[in-house]
Amino acid sequence: MKTSIDKTTKPFDSPVQPTWCPGCGNFGIWVSLKNALIQLGLTPEQVVIVYGIGCSGNMTNTVRAYGFHALHGRAVPVAEAIKLVNHNLAVIVVAGDGDAYGEGLNHFINACRVNHDITYLVHDNRSYSLTTGQTSPTSDLGYVSKSTPAGSPDQPLNPLSLALAAGASFISRGFSGEPKHLENLITQAVQHRGFSLVDVLQPCVTFNKINTVKWFSERVYKLAASSEIDQAWTMARATDKLPIGVIYQDSRPAYHERIEVLKDGPLADQPVELRNVADLLERFR
């Protein structure tokens, strides 16, 4: 189903429409993301979105930019490498809470501590939706689903405090029901020097009957500013009320800024040629 695209005012609109359920929070996040990219003055050629597997991963096809639809839980390492090889690109990871905090948890933690310059846009609906409704790492305690018919016995994972503990340099939370706020958050995240987490609270209208738009709206409130680390811990751990905005931000070099060879420009733009290894051969005499 191809429609002609207006490449001038809607450069990131692809001819392919999403397949999400009507009312899905993904629609709002999708629009916020595209608007943020326009706000940032980026062209589709400069953007790479690495998608995980899940409903949010089905955003693949619907954004006009370079894309990589990765394996479940493994978008982060792909994105990290893309950024290392061409640091002039804006590299954004789009994944769900299952992909990011379940299958891909090890990579998430390491991305936080290593400070790779990528933006992690996590679609957090506290459910495994594409696989038809299992519990996720962020599901509430007692959450009833196909895999936890007696209610989940697990303490939910808190991605914000985990990110803080892992040393992330930009930690934020958004809400699909506050699209303009989210758009600004994404803009800041992409501009941030280093790893930026945007955990986006959203409903799953089909499978999650607990954490609905109404449920979130009763709890979220906008932060005026980010906090120093001690206060940020408290903000991150809050569960009765859910602050949205930048929870914590600090400034340190992004991982790629320390790589000597990149001082001359992106690796991808440097010539690939034969290297004379005669000096190394000498070591083996």
Partner 1 sequence: MRQEITWKIGGIAGAGIKVTGDAFARACTRAGWYVFDYSEYPSLIRGGHNSYHVRAGVEPVYSTVREADVLVALNAKAIRNHLFEINPGGAVIFDSQAVKPDEVASHRSDISYMDVPLAKLATQAGGQELMANSVALGASWAVFKGPLEIIQNVLADGFKSKGEVVIKSNQAAAQAGYEYVKARLPKLKLAELKPQLGTGRILLPGNEALALGALANGLNFFAGYPMTPSTSIFHFMAQHGLGRGVIFKQTEDEISAVNMAIGAAYAGARSMTATSGGGFSLMVEALGLAGITETPLVIVNSQRPGPATGLPTWTEQADLRFLLHAAQGEFPRIVLAPGDVEECFRYGAEALNYAEQYQTPVLILLDKYLSESQMAVEPFNQKLITVDRGKLLTRADAEKENEFRRYQETPDGISKRSRPGLANTLFIANSDEHNDYGYSEESAENRRLMMDKRFRKLQTAEQNLSRPVLHGPDKADVTLVGWGSTLGPMLDALKRLTELNISANILRPVILEPFPSDFIKTILRQAKTTVLVENNSQGQLGGLIREKTGFEIGYQLLKYDGRPFFPDEIAAGVKSFVS
38 binds partner 1 (CB under 8 A): no
What's the start-to-end Cα distance of the chain, in Å? 65
267 binds partner 1 (CB under 8 A): yes
CB-CB contact of 162 with 239 (8 Å): no
The one among 149, 155, 260, 263 contacting partner 1 by CB under 8 A? 260
The nearest distance, CB 119 to partner 1, in angstroms, is 15
The one among 5, 81, 141, 229 contacting partner 1 by CB under 8 A? 81
130 binds partner 1 (CB under 8 A): no
71 binds partner 1 (CB under 8 A): yes
* CA distance linking residue 183 with residue 209, whole number of Å: 26
The one among 29, 79, 100, 244 contacting partner 1 by CB under 8 A? 79
The one among 191, 221, 222, 269 contacting partner 1 by CB under 8 A? 269
The nearest distance, CB 57 to partner 1, in angstroms, is 9
Residues contacting partner 1: total by CB under 8 A: 56
* CA distance linking residue 1 with residue 74, whole number of Å: 30
Segment 156 to 195, residues that bind partner 1, using CB under 8 A: none
List the alpha helices (DSSP H) in the chain.
Answer: 25-39, 75-85, 97-98, 105-114, 159-165, 179-191, 213-217, 229-237, 278-282
Planar angle of CA 282, 283, 285, nearest 5 degrees: 70
The one among 27, 68, 215, 233 contacting partner 1 by CB under 8 A? 68
Segment 96 to 125, residues that bind partner 1, using CB under 8 A: 106-107, 109-110
Tokens of 41: 């003055």
On the CB side of 48, CA atoms within 13 Å amount to 21
CB-CB contact of 144 with 170 (8 Å): no
* CA distance linking residue 29 with residue 212, whole number of Å: 16
The one among 74, 181, 193, 219 contacting partner 1 by CB under 8 A? 74
Segment 3 to 22, residues that bind partner 1, using CB under 8 A: 16
CB-CB contact of 45 with 66 (8 Å): yes
Computed on alpha carbons and rounded to an integer, the radius of gyration of the chain in Å comes to 20
60 binds partner 1 (CB under 8 A): yes
- Which is closer to partner 1, CB of 230 or CB of 273? 273
The nearest distance, CB 89 to partner 1, in angstroms, is 5
- Which is closer to partner 1, CB of 150 or CB of 284? 284
* CA distance linking residue 121 with residue 33, whole number of Å: 9
Q: Report DSSP state, residue 192.
A: S
Tokens of 274: 């034969």
Using CB under 8 A as the criterion, which residues of the chain lie in contact with partner 1 when the complex forms? 16, 44-48, 50, 53, 58, 60-61, 64-71, 74, 76-82, 84-86, 88-89, 106-107, 109-110, 259-262, 266-270, 272-278, 280-281, 284-285
